[in-house]
Structure 1
Amino acid sequence: MDMTEKINTELVEQGKNKIMWARNKMPVIRNISERWKREQPLAGIRVAACLHVTSKTANLLITLKDGGAEVALCGSNPLSTQDDVVAALNEVYDVPTHAKRGEDKDSFYNRILTVLDLQPHITVDDGADLITTLHSQRKELLDSVLGGTEETTTGVTRLKAMAKDNYLKYPVIAVNDAMTKHMFDNRYGTGQSTIDGIMRATNYLLAGAHFVVVGYGWCGRGIAKDASGMGARVTVVEVDSVRALEAALDGFEVSSMDEAAEKADFIVTTTGNKNVVDKKHLDKINDGCILSNAGHFNVEINLQALEEMTKEQREVRPDVQEYSFKDGRKVYLIGEGRLVNLTAGEGHPADVMDMSFSNQALSVEYLAKEHEQLAKDVYPVPRHLDESIAKLKLKSMGMELEQLTDEQIDYLNSWEIGT
C-alpha cells in the first residue's frame, strides 16, 4: 500500500468514526431511520442536497438513503466541508458526495451542477444555491422536481423573493422556520459553535473583552448569551427597534456600529445582510480587533474595503489572517469572513442538528406524499411534524409532558366562566 492509499484509508476511518460519534446524539434521526427502513417512503425518489458536509449532515443523507431514496450531496460553502466525512460517505455509506474544503468558486458551482445531474425529484438546500442554480442553469430539469426544502434564514429570504417574483417553479418547505429548528439550532447551536470557532482560531480570552454582536435574531441571541456567559462585555448592534429593546432588557448594551467598532475586541456579524461592517466602521475600528461572521454568506464584512485599506497581510494562525492598515492598526479576520463556526470549528453540536435534520427528513417525506396539493410557493413545516420532533426529543431526554384533563380542555374551550 502506498502512502496515498494509507492516508485515504485513515481519512475514511476518521470520517466514519466522526459520523458515528454524531449519531450517538441524534436519537430523533435514528428513530426516523428505523421507521423508514421498514416503510421505504422514499422508494424511487431522487434527492439532491447542497449542505455543509459535516458528520451531522452525513446522518441526514444516510437516513434519506434508509428511506429508499437515491441521493447525491455537494457542499454549501467552500470552507465548511469536512474532507474525512466526504471520504467516509463515498467509501463506506455509498452516498455520492462532491465537495472539497477550500475549493474555489468555479469548482464549488461545478459540483452543484454535478449533483443536479442526478435529475432530482426533491432538492435539499442550505442557502438556496442549489435551487437558484437549478432555476438559472438547469431549467430543463424543473418539470420533474416535486419540491424542495431550505435550511437557513438567508436561503428562505432568497426563496420568498423568488416566489414574490413568480420565479419559483416548485413548492419549497422553509425548514428554518420550524420552531424545533430556529429556536434551538439558530440560538443554541450557533451560539455555542460560534464561540467554539472563535476560541479554536484565536485561543484568546473572552472574559472582560468587548464583544460586539451585529444582529439580534435567533443566531445573535445565542451568540450574545454564550459570550456573556464566558464573561465578555457584550454590545448588540441592531436596526430593528423591538429587537434592540429586547437586547437591552436581556442585559446587553445597544449601540450603533460606528460607536461599537471603536472599542470592540471581537466583532461577530449575524444579519444575513451586506456590508454591515463597512469601510466607515473599519476606518475607526479598534486596533487588534478580531472580525468574524456567523451569517451564511461572506458578504457581511466589506472584504473589498478591508483589502484596499491594507498595506500588508499574512496568515498568523490557521484560519486567521492579519491585516495591517496604513495607519499602523491591525485587525484579524477568521475564515475569510465565511461561517466562523464551520471554517474554524466543526459546526453545531449534533444534539441540535438532530432536530434540524429531522425537520429536513420529515419535510422530504411530506413532499414525496403531498406535493400535488402544493402550489409553487414557500411553506412552513407542517405543525404536526414540528411537534412530533419536539416530543421525540423530549422522550429521548427522559422527559415527559403533562396532559390536560377533560375539565381543563372544556374550560379552555368555553367562554361562560369569568371572574
Structure 2
Amino acid sequence: MSSSDLAATGAARITWIRSRMPLLAETRARFAAERPFEGIRIGMSLHLEPKTAVLLETLAAGGAEVVSTGNHGSTQDDTVAALREQGMTVFGRRDDTLEQHHANVEAVLDARPQILLDNGADLAAGVVRRGVAGEVRGGTEETTSGAFRLRDELAGAVPFPVLVINDSPLKAIGENLHAVGQSAVESFQRITNLMVPGRRFVVIGYGWCGRGVARYLKALGGQVAVAEVDEIKAFEAALDGFLVDDLENLLPNAQAVITATGHSNVLPGHLLPLLPSGAVLANIGHFPDEIDTAALAEQAAAREPLDEALELFRMPDGREIVLIADGRMFNLAGRSPKGNSIASMDLGFLLQARSLERVATAADTLVAGAQPIPDDINRAIARRMVEVMRTGA
C-alpha cells in the first residue's frame, strides 16, 4: 500500500473513532478557544492507534506542538501516516525492533519537550538519565507499570510533577476493569480462534486489569482460576467466585494463562515445565517481561511461527506451548487490533487531556514526583460521563 493510501486508510479510521468520542470533542473545542498549550512542546510515548490520534488532535488544537512515538509492537502504521499528513512529528513503525523503539524514544527526547505524556515512564527515565529533568514542567503517566517505576526505580529523582492516570478511580473502573477485560477476551478469541466457554484459564494478578480479565472470561463461560500474591486481593477473588491457589498448583490444569500484574517475571521459567501440552500464554500488562519468554525459548527443542501473533514452542518432552505476541500486550496485537473500547478511551484520554492542562497551567499547585490526578478533575469527568451515558449526548 502506498503512503498516501495508508494515510487515507488511517484518516478514515480516525474519523470514525473521532465521531464516537464526545468528551474529547467538547474539550477539543474548548482548547481551540483557550489555547492552554500555546508555545509548549509535549513529548509523547504511547500506543499509536486511532483513539490516540484523537487525543493528539485535541492537544494540538490547544496549541501544543506534539512530538510522539508509539510503544514497541503496537504502532499502527496507517495511524502514523495519517498523523504525518496532518503535519505532526511521529516516530515509529509496527515492525520496529526493540532497539529501534528505544531510538524512537530518544528522538522524542531530542526534541526537548517541556511536558511528558508517558507510558511506562520511558520518557521520565530518559530525561533523568540525560540530566535535563530541570527543563521539564511536568507530565502524566498512563500505566500501572510506569507508576511502579516512578515510585521505585525513579523515586526522588523526578523533580517535576507526574499525574498518574492509572491512579484515577475512573480509569480503574472504566478502562482497566471493563475495557481491558472486554478487549482481552475479544483479542484472545480473534488471535487464537479458540472457544472461551469451558476453557480452563489462569489469570495471574487480581488488580483492576486482572479483575476485568477474570470476570469477562467467566461471563463468557470460561473456567477461571486466579493466582494472586496479595492476601487481600486473593480474598476478594475467592469471594468473587474464582478458584484461588498458588500458581504451582494451578498451572498443571491450565489451558490458557494470562498475566495482568505490571510486574516482571510473574510466570517464571522454572514453572514452565508444569504447563500441560497445548497451553496458551498471553500477557495484558504494559511491559513484555511478565512471562519469562527467554526461558521458554531456551527450554524449547524447536519453535514455529503459526500466525502474525502466535508462535508454537515444541518442548523436549513432547509438550507444545503457544505464546501470543511474544509476550507483549496482546490486546493490541495480531490482525485488525482494536484495543480498549472507544468509550473507555474517550474517558481515559479526557483524563489525560485535563491532567496535561493542569500541568501546563498550574504546575505550581502540584508536588514533585508521581501523584494522583486532582479530585476535582475526576469528579467533573465522572459527572459528564454519566450524562453522556444517560442521554447519549
Range into which the TM-score falls when normalised by the shorter chain: over 0.9
- One-letter code of the match for 1:262? P
Of 332-341 and 93-102, more deviation after overlay is shown by: 93-102
Q: Say which of 151, 164, 187 aligns to 2:142.
A: 151
Q: Which runs of 5+ in 2 are unaligned?
A: none
Aligned length: 390
SS in structure 2 of the partner of residue 148 of structure 1: strand
Letter in 2 for 1:159: L
Structure 1 residue ranges (4+ consecutive) displaced by more than 4 angstroms after TM superposition: none
Distance in 1 (alpha carbons) for counterparts of 2:372 and 2:174: 17
Percent identity for Structure 1 against Structure 2: 37
SS at 2:172 equivalent: helix
- 1:40 corresponds, among 24, 35, 45, to 35
The residue aligned with 1:279 is 269
Distance 2:289 2:154 in 1: 23
1:374, 1:319 → 2: CA distance?
42
Which residue identity is paired with 2:92? A
State the Cα distance separating 1:250 from its structure 2 match.
0.8
Letter in 1 for 2:320: K
**Contact kept in structure 1, 2:165 and 2:351, CA below 8 Å:** yes
Q: Decide whether the 8 Å contact of 1:49 with 1:74 is kept in 2.
A: yes
Q: TM-score, normalised on structure 2?
A: 0.96
Q: Which runs of 5+ in 1 are unaligned?
A: 1-5, 401-419
- 8 A contact 2:133–2:158 mirrored in 1: no
Distance 2:265 2:148 in 1: 17
Partner of 1:212, secondary structure, is strand
In 1, the alpha carbon distance for the partners of 2:254 and 2:161 equals 43
Query: Contact 2:37–2:59 at 8 Å: present in 1 too?
Result: yes
RMSD over aligned Cα, in angstroms? 1.4
Contact 1:227–1:234, Cα closer than 8 Å, also in 2: yes
1:83 to 52, 72, 77: 77
State the Cα distance separating 1:74 from its structure 2 match: 0.4
Give the equivalent residue in structure 1 for 2:187.
197
Tell me the amino acid that sits aligned with residue 186 of structure 2. Answer: D
Give yes or no for the alignment of 1:363 onto 2:355.
Answer: yes
Deviation of 1:399 after TM superposition, in Å, equals: 4.9
Pair 1:206-2:196 in alignment: yes
- SS of the aligned residue for 1:268 comes to strand
Query: What pairs with 1:169-188 in structure 2 (closer than 5 Å)?
Result: 169-188=159-178
Question: What is the one-letter code of the residue matched to 1:284?
Answer: L
| Counterpart for residue 68 of structure 2 | 73
Question: Which of the residues 99, 102, 106 maps onto 1:113?
Answer: 106
Q: Secondary structure at the match of 2:274?
A: coil
Matched, 1:103 2:96: yes
SS of equivalent residue, structure 2 residue 43: strand
Q: 1:388 is matched with which residue?
A: 380
Q: Deviations over 1:178-232 (max 9, x none)?
A: 1211211111111111112211111001110101100000000100111111111
Deviations 1:288-340 (A, max 9, x none): 00100011111111112101110110111221000000000000000000001
C-alpha distance after superposition, 1:129-148 (max 9, x if no partner): 11112211x32x32221001
Q: Is the 8 A contact 2:171 2:348 kept in 1?
A: yes
CA contact (8 A) 2:109 2:126 kept: no
AA matched with 2:80? V
- Alignment match of 2:299 (pick from 304, 309, 328): 309
Which structure's CA Rg is the greater one?
1
Normalising by structure 1, we get a TM-score of: 0.90
| Residue aligning to 1:407 | none
SS at match of 1:48: strand
* Distance in 2 between residues matched to 1:367 and 1:263, nearest whole Å: 49
Distance (Å, rounded) in 1 between the aligned partners of 2:345 and 2:70: 17
Once the two structures are TM-superposed, the CA of residue 279 in structure 1 deviates from its matched residue by: 2.3
- The 8 Å contact of residues 162 and 168 in structure 1, kept in 2 or not, is answered as no
Counterpart residue number, 1:126: 119
| CA distance, structure 2, for counterparts of residue 158 and residue 85 of structure 1 | 29
Deviates more, 1:296-305 or 1:368-377: 368-377
> Does 1:325 find its partner at 2:318?
no
Cα pair 1:27 1:393 within 8 Å, conserved: no
Shift in Å at residue 162 of structure 1?
Answer: 4.7
- For residues 245-267 of structure 1, the C-alpha deviation after alignment (integer angstroms, 9 at most, x for no partner) is 11111111111111111011110
